[in-house]
Structures are given as C-alpha cells and as structure tokens.
Amino acid sequence: MTNAATPSPSAPSDEEVGQAVLDAARYGDVEDLQELTSTYGGNHLGFRGGNGGNTALHFACANGHVDCVAWLIDQGVEGCAANESGNSPLHWAVQNQHEAVVRLLLEKLENVDVLARNAFGKSVLTEGFAGKSQGILKLLLEHPSADEDALMGGEGQGQCQEGSDGGEVLKAGLQSAKEANEASGGGGEATVIHRLVLDRENDPDRVLQIRELAIEHADDPFGKAAADDTTGLGVWPAALVLAQWLVQERKELLDASTIVELGCGCAVPGLAAALHGRPRAVHLTDLNSETLMNARANLAMNRENFLVPETAACVHVSAMDWGDEQSYPPSAVGAVDLVLGSDLVYQKSLAPLLAQVLCRLMRPGGRFLYVAPATGRDGLEDFVKGLSDRAGLFQVSEKEAGPKLLGNPLEGGGMVEGSTGSPQEEEAADSADQMFFLHFNELATQEVVYKLYEYVKQ
C-alpha cells in the first residue's frame, strides 16, 4: 500500500476517511479513492465498516465495479478478508452475479478458496450453484481450489480453508440447483435433473441422477471447432437406450473392467456402469469444457450411491479430443475392456477419427457398445461398416432396440399398462410419462428406430 501522508491538524478522523473510502468503492469512484489515498495514505483502504466489517473491496465487488476492484487489488488490499458474516469479497461478487469481477478476483488473488464457507455454511461455490450465471459457475468449478480431490475430501487451500467441507458443500450446491429446478417447475427450463431407474425389474430402488443443461447456441450447437460443440449439455435419447441395454442385458461386462465413455455428454451410460457394476476404472471423456463441468457435477451427485463404495475413487471425468492422441488417458491406452458410445457420429469426418480412438484404446478381446438412431446421422453407415478395416473390430451384433430398452426410465414412470397402482403411484407415473414425452419425445412416441451395435477387438 502507499505510504500515509502527514495529515494536517484539521484533518478528518480515521473513521471519516475510512467511511469516505467505503463510499467511493461502493460507487466505483477510482479517482476519489486515488485522491483519498494520496492525501491520507493507503492504510485507509483496509478500513472496515458499513455495519458488519465490510471492506472497500467488498463494496466494489458487490456493485460490480471491475476497475475499482482491479485498482484496490493493485494497492495490495487483503483480497480474501471475510466480513463479520464470513463473506469474502468473492462471496459478494458471486451472490450479486458479477461475472467480470469474479473472473478478476480468481485471476489476481492468491490463496482464493472457492470452498470457503460463510457463517451460514455457504461456500462461494454453493452460491455459484444457486445463481443463474453458468459463466460464474464454470469459473468457480475450474478454479484449482475446486478440483475433484478438494471437493470430495474437503481439502480447501489458502487462508480461507478453515471449516470447508467440499463434499458437503458440493452436495449443498447441487441441492440448490435441484431446488431451483424444482421451483421453476422442472420442465423445459435451463436446468433439469432426471432421476433414472434403469433396471426397474431387478433393481427398482437404484436411481441415477443426471443433470442436463440447455444446449447453447441452439442455432449451431456443433460449433466451428470440436471444442465448441455444446450438444453434450443435453441427454440424447440414445444415451438412455445404451444405459438400459448395458444395465438390463450386458451387466456382466461391467465387473472388474476398465471402461471408457467417449463423447460422454451428461455421462448417462458411464455413470450407469459405475452405479450398477463393479468396474476397475471408468473414464468419462468429452472435449467441450462446459460439458465436462456438467459431467463432473453428475459424477459428484451419484458417487455416494455406487454399488460398491470403492468405485467412487476410480471414476474420472477427463478432457479428451478424439483427434489428439496426446489427450487420451494414458492408463487407458491399449487397456480398455469396454468402450461406450451413444450418438457420436453426425458428420462423415467423425467416422475415421472415432475408429482411430477405438483402435488405440481397446485391448484385444475388448468390447465396444454403440447406440444411435438408425436414420438422420451423416456418416453412421461409414462408421459402423468401417470399424473392421479401420480399427480391427469384429461386429458381434447389430439389432434394433426393443420396447423395453426404449421404455421410460424416469423414476415413477414405466408402469405396466393395465397394472393397478395406488392413486399416488398412478399420479407419479403420469407425471413421469409427461416428462418423458417432453424431454425424450423420440423414445416416447417410438417413431424412431434405435440401433444397438456390439463389437469385439480382434
């Protein structure tokens, strides 16, 4: 901070200067702050007031004054200082949804901990989940203090770490996302959490929770580059079919196996494998950063309910670009027992790319299960027919999904026609059927044929 100039005898009290500093920060008046500092010294920049021990940085952050925040940080003010309610300036920036300020704080401040909680037990990340801004949530989730280990182990970093409990915080955050979703009616909104019962007959109480987000740039969701493809923010019907196929008919493939899901999107099949089986390792992979963030949230939402608790430690979400061999998870190369894919080919150029991935990852004898709609996908024919030459895969079967695999896996739904349930059960079934119709229309109307492909590596 700058050195204090010697105040004249008629100088205002420290309290008055401090108050003037807080007001200037509240209104984002950097010039005023500079003048106050050159006249009375930089120590006043750390003044706390405003009923609750707030600093100038708190006020600048709460009101979204980016220039003022930057200037204060450059003067060396304490960036992580919490007020009497335990709220840091970052808490206030997130609560007030000022994305540019959040970005600046995360970039400029050392020792930021997005898991640090205020006196109400809410972390910055929890506030991020409760807010509307996906941009802010993404910034917080990408910060090193929110990495998977910290989230699950409660290991915060930096000066704000005391009292953080990552697992709890994340659960609370996901809960608020869920509540926000429910409050908004749960249907057709930006965020939806589906509760999926994939094996109603044999395991009716096992529920996979999957959050899907609105697909961005709906006019061109595939984007110009592969990394801009936001189609994975939504659950594609093929993912539900693959998950039900896997869990209802091919469960034996899940035990003691290394599994990779390609282009996982919301990760329905990969997480279904972790929820219903005893895999050795599961790699949920995609390329788009928002999709990966959502896949991480989905992993966090389900990991406590995996069939065996040990699975939680061996399921990972990782960035992987089919076109870049360097990005393939090193431990998976040549070692994968089971590759899962749903609706991955929608342009011709993708067929050879995916074949290369399969060739590099699968071990001899490994399986590849793929589900896609039979029509409307450019390059599908080339992909499924070319796997023998391009990747050394032998096609074990190619068949149409039957009514059971096309059925409604939403919790409460799928009541057998004619069966008599209680009025509550019937009401739940009606509402689940409506949701199914709304979100997975192609399956609900059974107008589209879905194909199941199974291959083995020679």
Ligand X SMILES: C[S@@+](CC[C@H](N)C(=O)[O-])C[C@H]1O[C@@H](n2cnc3c(N)ncnc32)[C@H](O)[C@@H]1O
Residue 343 touching ligand X (CB under 6 A):
yes
Q: Which stretch binds ligand X (CB under 6 A): 35-43, 107-115, 201-209, 235-243?
A: 235-243
Instruction: Please select the residue that binds ligand X; options are 209, 288, 311, 408, rule is CB under 6 A.
Output: 288
CB of 350 to ligand X, least distance (A): 7
- In the complex with ligand X, the residue whose CB is nearer, 96 or 289, is 289
Helix (H), strand (E), coil (C) string for 187-242: CCCCEEEEEECCCCCCCCCCCEEEEEECCCCCCCCCCCCHHHCCHHHCCCHHHHHH
Nearest residue to ligand X by CB is 232
70 or 287: CB nearest ligand X: 287
Residue 362 makes CB contacts below 8 A (sequence gap 6+) with 334, 336, 339, 368, 391, 393, 457
| Choice between 92 and 455, CB closer to ligand X | 455
Q: Which is nearer to ligand X, 119 or 333 (CB)?
A: 333
User: Would you count residue 373 as binding ligand X (CB under 6 A)?
Assistant: no
Tokens encoding 25 = 């920060």
Q: Applying CB under 6 A, which of residues 127, 286, 290, 454 lies at the interface with ligand X? A: 286
> CB of 56: closest distance to ligand X in angstroms?
43
Name which of 104 and 271 has its Cβ closer to ligand X.
Answer: 271
Q: Give the C-alpha separation, 391 to 383, whole Å.
A: 10
324 or 427, CB closer to ligand X? 324
**Distance between CA atoms of 413 and 4, rounded to whole angstroms?**
70
**Sign of the C-alpha dihedral, residues 413, 415, 417, 421?**
negative
Take residue 141 and report the two structure tokens written for it.
């989730």
Nearer of residues 142 and 426 to ligand X, judged by Cβ: 142
Which one of 59-67, 151-159, 231-239, 296-304 is the stretch in contact with ligand X (CB under 6 A)? 231-239
CB 246 to ligand X: min, Å: 13
Find residue 285's DSSP bridge partners: 318
Q: How far is CA 337 from CA 261, 275, 281, 312, in A?
A: 11, 18, 10, 19
Taking CB under 6 A as the criterion, the residue among 59, 92, 236, 455 binding ligand X is 236
Residue nearer to ligand X on the CB measure, 165 or 261: 261
Site for ligand X in 102-131 (CB under 6 A): none
DSSP state of 261: E
254 binds ligand X (CB under 6 A): no
Using the rule CB under 6 A, is 226 a contact of ligand X? Answer: yes
Token readout for 372 is 């896609």
CB nearer to ligand X: pick between 29 and 343: 343
If the CB atoms of residues 344 and 380 are measured against ligand X, the closer one turns out to be 344
Site membership for ligand X, residue 92 (CB under 6 A):
no
Residues in binding contact with ligand X, number by CB under 6 A: 23
DSSP strands (E only) in 65-205: 191-196
- Kindly state whether residue 452 participates in binding ligand X, applying the rule CB under 6 A: no
- By CB under 6 A, the residues from 406 to 435 that bind ligand X are none
Question: Which residues lie below 8 Å from residue 325, measured CB to CB, with a gap of 6+?
Answer: 356, 360
**CB 354, min distance to ligand X, A:** 9
235 in contact with ligand X (CB under 6 A): yes
Q: In angstroms, rounded to a whole number, what is the distance separating the alpha carbons of residues 261 and 424?
A: 37
C-alpha torsion sign, points 351, 357, 358, 360:
positive
Residue 371 contacts residue 245 (beta carbons within 8 Å): yes
231 near ligand X, rule: CB under 6 A: yes
Asked whether position 344 contacts ligand X by CB under 6 A, the answer is yes
Which residues, 6 or more positions from 74, have their beta carbon under 8 angstroms from its beta carbon?
Answer: none
Determine if 291 is a binding residue for ligand X (CB under 6 A).
Answer: yes
Q: What is the DSSP string of 22-80?
A: HHHHHTT-HHHHHHHHHHH-GGGGG--BTTTTB-HHHHHHHTT-HHHHHHHHHTT--TT
Q: Which of residues 255-284 bind ligand X (CB under 6 A)?
A: 263-266
Among 60, 287, 293, 297, binds ligand X (CB under 6 A): 287
Structure tokens at 414: 């799928």
Closer to ligand X by CB, 151 or 238: give it.
Answer: 238
Instruction: Quote the least distance from Cβ 170 to ligand X, whole Å.
Output: 22
Distance CA 199, CA 275 (A): 11
* Binding flags for ligand X, 293-332, as an x/- string (CB under 6 A): ---------------------------xxxx---------
| Three-state SS annotation for 355-421 | HHHHHHHEEEEEEEEEEEECCCCCCHHHHHHHHHHHHCEEEEEEEECCCCCCCCCECCCCCCCCCCC
| Residue 118, H or E segment | none
- Binding residues for ligand X, rule: CB under 6 A, are 226, 229, 231-232, 235-236, 238-239, 263-266, 286-288, 291, 320-323, 342-344
